[in-house]
């Protein structure tokens, strides 16, 4: 949790949707440092109280509520739900907050909101994502060489699987895939093309985001770039 707070403040990439570096889901041309600090202070204080099983005083609760109304991220909404047990917030958490950042950071918290019986039901009645492999050794190559691998994505669940995003850790890797849902028992493909650059060993990862209630799948690419 502390790392997530710090990453927010430092404008790390998984808080950037190309529209605003800090406000992941919202249009914002400029966000002042004061706004960022206030936003983080509210979350951190609320989290510390929650961790110590202490309630928020009325002013703190009002600040958290205003934070959620202005910037309804998963985590501050989660904290507000824990303090208020407002079922409307629970609905927001389970239905409306389903972005890549939520899957990356908060899958465990989302699961904690579901009863064991409901979780088993979702697990047995939802989509499931399986890759035909999770790593590839590209071997040796030279700068500017391009190599492509096709990764098969299978839906072993009972509802349609949707790949919402395939995100490489470096812009030297590009991903192309059919954006259509993959039906139960069906299979899709993702073509990953890697352009070799710097001399030496390399390791890159590609993250597969989807509508599965699990952490995203990760594919690893390794190899060596040598001088011509």
- How do residues 148-195 score in pLDDT, each as one tens digit? 899 999 999 988 999 988 988 888 889 999 889 999 999 999 999 988
Residue labelled with tokens 């011509």: 228
- Distance CA(102)–CA(177), nearest Å, equals 22
The model's pTM is 0.63
Q: Report the pLDDT averaged over residues 28-53.
A: 76
Where do you find CATH 2.60.40.10 in the chain? 129-225
Quick count: other Cβ atoms within 10 Å of Cβ 107?
15
Q: Say which CATH class 129-225 falls into.
A: mainly beta
Task: Please report, for residues 2, 10, 50, 85, the alpha-carbon distance to residue 7 in angstroms, rounded to integers and kept in the order given.
Answer: 9, 5, 21, 28
pLDDT of residue 14: 37
Q: What is the pLDDT of residue 155?
A: 95
Higher pLDDT, 198 or 166: 166
The DSSP symbol for 186 reads -
């Amino acid at each position: 949790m502390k790392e997530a707070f710090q990453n927010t403040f430092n404008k790390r990439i998984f808080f950037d949707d190309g529209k605003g570096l800090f406000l992941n889901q919202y249009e914002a041309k400029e966000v002042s440092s004061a706004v960022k600090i206030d936003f983080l202070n509210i979350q951190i204080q609320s989290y510390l109280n929650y961790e110590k099983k202490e309630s928020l005083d009325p002013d703190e609760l009002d600040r958290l509520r205003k934070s959620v109304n202005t910037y309804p991220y998963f985590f501050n909404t989660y904290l507000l739900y824990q303090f208020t047990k407002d079922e409307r917030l629970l609905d927001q958490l389970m239905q409306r907050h389903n972005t890549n950042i939520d899957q990356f950071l908060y899958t465990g918290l989302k699961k904690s909101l579901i009863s064991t019986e409901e979780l088993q039901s979702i697990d047995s009645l939802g989509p499931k994502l399986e890759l035909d492999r999770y790593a590839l050794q590209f071997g040796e190559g030279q700068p500017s060489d391009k190599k492509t691998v096709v990764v098969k994505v299978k839906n072993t669940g009972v509802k349609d699987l949707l790949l919402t995003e395939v995100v490489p850790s470096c812009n030297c890797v590009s991903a192309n895939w059919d954006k259509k849902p993959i039906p139960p028992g069906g299979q899709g493909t993702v073509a990953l093309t890697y352009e070799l650059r710097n001399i030496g060993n390399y390791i890159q990862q590609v993250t597969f985001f989807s509508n599965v209630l699990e952490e995203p799948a990760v594919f690893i690419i390794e190899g060596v770039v040598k001088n011509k």
